[in-house]
Amino acid sequence: MLEPRVMPWSLCGRAFGVWLAVFLLTPFAAGQDLDATLDPVRAMIERFEADQGSIRRFYDAPVSRGALDLRAATLAEWEEALRNVDFDALNQDGRVDYLLFGNLLKRELAELGHERAKTREMAGLIPFADAVVELHETRRALQTVDGEVAAELLSDLSEQLDAVRASLKGEPDPGYTPIVANRAAGATDALRRTLREWYEFSAGYDPVFTWWAKAPYETLDGELRDYATFLRRELAGIKDGEEGDAIIGDPIGREALIDALRFEMIPYSPEELIAIAEREYAWCLAEMLEASRALGYGEDWRSALEHVKELHVAPGEQPALIRDLAYEAVDFIESRGLVTVPELCKETWRMEMMSPARQKVSPYFLGGETILVSFPTDGMEHGDKLMSMRGNNRHFSRATVQHELIPGHHLQGFMIDRYRTHRRAFRTPFWIEGWALYWEMLLWDLDFPQSAEDRVGMLFWRMHRCARIVFSLRFHLGEMTPEEAIDYLVERVGHERNNATAEVRRSVSGSYGPLYQAAYMLGGLQIRALRQELVESGRMSDRAFHDAILRLGPIPVEMVRATLTDQELTRECKAEWRFADE
């Protein structure tokens, strides 16, 4: 089992030098002593998730090379355990789980490699990182800290930090891009928080430690804060006062992007996906022009869009609008027998209003069991109020409410918690966001929009999903800057600039995976293609098709197809489904 070992030198020592704790994990037998009441691969997945959670929570220091090595070792052990499973003896569900688990392990190993590469890129900017990490890991080992030795280390780190900063200030070209500098600033912030946790564990509780360490810690803490600011301003080019608003991002590059596509079981290149997005955008534009003509704006679809943006409710009335739209969507899908909606699911969704700070990142609704409603508050600037109301008007909201609640994310989450729960480990945005976007497509086909204004509202979002593929992939390929992405959303989709800025900030900040924004439209196209194959051919009803997808769990849509078509599977299966080929 998991037994941490500590090398025989520690902060208890008197001499300054290599005395910090280093953690090693005693190898354990992955795949043994599993829950015998479960199918074998499911038992492995559930144990793996529990073990990984324990490892991540314990070895949680930022930029820890030891933690990366540990995680890589445990992943390799699980790969070996999985290879020992008799694949041919598994049923179809078990074979799907086997392939998904193997794919997950390979994905995690590849991401560790990319994480190591990013850490190496910024290593020269954070030479103090190893010392801070080892302090944290010494505390994790519950070793008693020698306050005098700790004070000396903290003082030495301050001197090292001063020297690094002086060398960078005196260098006309320090050799680091704004992207790497901004990444290093974020790492410095994280290391500062880690150091604070280490210090506060003993400060005040151990009077001798506090006597020695208080002053040098406070000095180092302030220098780390100032150094992160220095990196952002001097090397990343972020102006004073713009730290919270600047958008730099961290593109992953072509190799990592192709890896990510392979693990999502998408057999297309980034360039092919961009071409698919442009094709879908052309369809949207043709439909938008038709709606514009119906509203009397002719070929000037942007004026039609401006007209629709003004059709928002008055302050205080947005919650009632969202409630009514949610009930309407449920009535629409139930009256047509499209999908099963459990009564408890209909009764237990909630509504909250989004804070102004959150709207800077998410200018539109967010959802699930709780829908977060975006609408201006009285304390916002006048121009920001208008943009928020215009961006969350009646007809834009008509598409977003059902996306976030029923039949979208709330229904998804409800079913994920009740069927094949172990598959939450494979959660993919191509299933999560693809499902919600697919319903926007299907409801369009079933005449859910009641007016030309409704069609403009729904088309705005569909154009936006196309644009997300283009700008997010091109950003990670290094072909588009955040500023160019903002302009792209304003010009090609008709976003309010503040809202476009928030969308790009959310997309490139690193809080979402590199394929997350592309997954909406692409996942929707996958499910739409599968419906054409199974429902439109008469092999399944709509209700049976949609219920089956929800009960299979949040897995790559290619594996949904393999299950519903009873595809013959082997250990070596690779993604081959060209779902968007004409």
Decide: 550 and 415 in contact? Cβ < 8 Å: yes
pLDDT for 126: 96
CA–CA dist 311, 230 (Å, integer)? 46
Question: Which residues are bridge partners to 366 per DSSP?
Answer: 372
- Under 8 Å between Cβ of 373 and 356: no
Distance CA 354, CA 211 (A): 45
What confidence score (pLDDT) does residue 347 get? 96
The confidence score (pLDDT) of residue 243 equals 60
Q: 29 falls in which pLDDT band (50, 70, 90)?
A: low
Instruction: State mean pLDDT over 470-485.
Output: 95
| Band of residue 8 on the pLDDT scale cut at 50, 70, 90 | very low
Contacts of 385 (CB under 8 A, 6+ apart): 376
In this structure, are residues 360 and 272 in contact, taking their beta carbons and an 8 Å threshold? no
Residues 22-45, mean pLDDT to the nearest whole number = 76
pLDDT at 199 over 60: yes
Q: Once rounded to an integer, what is the mean pLDDT over residues 348-371?
A: 82
Q: What's the rounded Cα separation, in Å, for the pair 390 and 247?
A: 24
How far is residue 107 CA from its own chain's centroid?
A: 15
477/457 Cα distance (integer angstroms): 31
Cβ neighbours around 361 below 10 Å, total = 15
* H or E stretch covering 5: strand 4-6
> How confident is the model over 77-94, as pLDDT tens digits?
999 999 999 999 999 999
H-type alpha helices, 310-419: 318-335, 343-347, 356-359, 382-391, 394-404, 409-416
d(CA 317, CA 329): 19
For residue range 298-336, what is the model confidence (pLDDT) as tens digits?
Answer: 999 999 999 999 999 888 888 899 999 999 999 999 999
Range scoring the smallest mean pLDDT among 6-20, 105-119, 298-312, 442-456:
6-20
Residue type, 87: F
More confident residue, 469 or 15: 469
For 475, the enclosing helix (H) or strand (E) is helix 452-476
Give the model's pLDDT for residue 394. 86
CA atoms within 13 A on the CB side of 361: 14
Closest CA to 147 of 211, 221, 219: 211
The three-class DSSP label of residue 503 is helix
176 to 63, 172, 182, 281, 556: CA distances (angstroms): 18, 11, 10, 37, 37
pLDDT tier at 9, thresholds 50, 70, 90: very low
DSSP string spanning 336-386? TT-S---HHHHH--EEEEPPHHHHTT--S-B-SSEEEE----TTS-HHHHH
Nearest to 135 by CA among 217, 252, 41: 217
Cα 259 from Cα 371, distance rounded (Å): 33
Q: Which two tokens stand for residue 403?
A: 């996306």
46 compared with 14, residue with greater pLDDT: 46
Query: Roughly how many angstroms between the first and final C-alpha of the chain, as a whole number?
Result: 52
Give tens-digit pLDDT for 444-470. 999 999 999 999 999 999 999 999 999
Can you name the residues that pair with 5 across neighbouring β-strands?
A: 24
What would the mean pLDDT of 341-353 be, rounded to a whole number? Answer: 95
- Interatomic CA distance for residues 322 and 397, integer angstroms: 8
Strand partners, 25: 4
Cβ–Cβ < 8 Å for 288, 281 = no
Average pLDDT over residues 138-164: 93
SS3 call for 47: helix
Angle between helices 482-492 and 452-476 (to 10 degrees): 160
pLDDT at 498: 84
Q: Which two tokens stand for residue 54?
A: 């324990």
Confidence label for 1 from pLDDT (cuts 50, 70 and 90): very low
Helix ranges (H only) for 25-128 are 40-58, 65-83, 92-122
- What digits encode the pLDDT tens for the residues 225-283? 999 999 999 999 888 766 656 788 889 999 999 999 999 999 999 999 999 999 999 99
Q: How far apart are CA 467 and CA 489, in angstroms?
A: 7
Backbone conformation region of residue 142, classed left if phi is above 0, alpha if psi is from -120 to 50, else beta: left
User: For 424-436, how does the pLDDT look when each residue is reduced to its tens digit (9 = 90+)?
Assistant: 999 999 999 999 9
- pLDDT higher than 80, residue 409: yes
d(CA 175, CA 344): 58
Per-residue confidence (pLDDT) for residue 231, from 0 to 100 = 95
Beta bridge partners of 6: 23
* pLDDT on residue 240: 73
Q: What is the mean pLDDT of the chain?
A: 90
What phi and psi values does residue 350 have, to the nearest 5 degrees?
Answer: -130, 165
| Percent of the chain predicted with pLDDT > 70 | 93
Question: Which class for 148: exposed (0-12), middle (13-18), buried (19 or more C-beta within 10 A)?
Answer: middle
The predicted structure's pLDDT at residue 17: 32
Phi-psi region at 422: left, alpha or beta (left = phi > 0; alpha = psi -120 to 50): alpha
Indicate whether 186 pLDDT > 50. yes
Mean pLDDT (whole number) for 459-485: 95
